[in-house]
Amino acid sequence: MKQPPCSSAPIKPSRRNALLALGAIAASCVAPGARAQRRDTRGAVLMVVQLNGPNIAVDQQIAAHLQARGYTVRLVNQDFDPALAHDARLVVISSTVSAKDVPAGWRTAPVPLFTWENDLLDDLAMSGKRHDTDFGEVGKERYLWLVNAPHPVSAGLPAGVANVFRKQAPMSWGKPGLGASIIATIYGQPEKAAIFTYEKGATMDYEALAPARRVMFFMDNDSFPNLSESGIRLFDAAIDWATA
């Protein structure tokens, strides 16, 4: 019985090589675009910094880290108008800003917001108004106490002590309103929340309702390069939760 031609005739080596070459060319044409599309799926981050400040290199390092994780990052100066941030997936306010030069509109901005500037917590209605009582920073610390390990912002770390800095450094903290989820406190100082979040609609301070998700993180101006592996995991988890 005669077999069908397509099943009986083997592909000649030259033909096989040609087909493989064509496949490689097609893959090389498609893959870069596909990779670019995957990089851009996490959305746009607007990062508010002091563009001419002494710690701009640290802010740029944070921006590069976020970009490597798939976010598109735009750095803007501290006086940026909050009304222009409506299309951002997330607003990040660095502690390199001067709080007095940051517009008041961020308090009611209907976009997720992430900050480590403790001097802005009262302006954002994320804490009370009294410095060193409702918000502030500790001078030298290295450890946090994770009190809400099941929360996504805890990054899968177990409850208890977490070493978040490579070496001792200042840590920002605040005392949030009743609607907050406290993720971690300064080690040995449970009244000082180092990481806390507000879900959209949660009650913040002054009976204000969170217009979108809000996150307070414990860093200082130049803390990011000092974060340990656990610190980076917490940072990434907090960013991802805010944009979810």
| Amino acid present at 187 | Y
Give the pLDDT score at 18.
42
Residue at token pair 């940026």: 80
As given in the structure block, the two tokens for residue 142 are 């290295």
Which CATH number fits the domain 40-243, given the four candidates 3.40.50.720, 3.40.50.1360, 3.40.50.880, 3.40.50.620? Answer: 3.40.50.880
- Find the angle CA(186)-CA(137)-CA(167) to the nearest 5 degrees: 65
CA–CA separation, 22 and 28 (whole Å): 10
Query: 43: alpha, beta or left, given left = phi > 0 and alpha = psi -120 to 50?
Result: left
Helix (H, G, I), strand (E, B), or coil: what is residue 144?
A: strand
> Which of 115, 211, 225, 221 minimizes the C-alpha distance to 166?
225
Give the pLDDT score at 206.
83
Mean pLDDT to the nearest integer, 131-139? 97
**pLDDT, tens digit (0-9, with 9 covering 90-100), for 99-111:** 999 999 999 999 9
Query: Percentage of the chain surpassing pLDDT 90?
Result: 82
Q: Is the pLDDT of residue 239 over 50?
A: yes
As given in the structure block, the two tokens for residue 104 are 């008041």
Give the pLDDT score at 144.
98
CA distances from 93 to 4, 75, 97, 124, 214 (A): 69, 10, 8, 11, 11
Give the pLDDT score at 59.
98
Give the pLDDT score at 131.
96
Q: Any bridge partners for residue 237, and if so which?
A: none
Mean pLDDT to the nearest integer, 208-220? 98
CA–CA separation, 241 and 34 (whole Å): 25
Would you say the pTM of this structure is higher than 0.85?
no
Mean pLDDT to the nearest integer, 79-102? 97
Give the pLDDT score at 16.
45
CA–CA separation, 128 and 176 (whole Å): 7
- Every domain of the chain and the residues it spans: 40-243
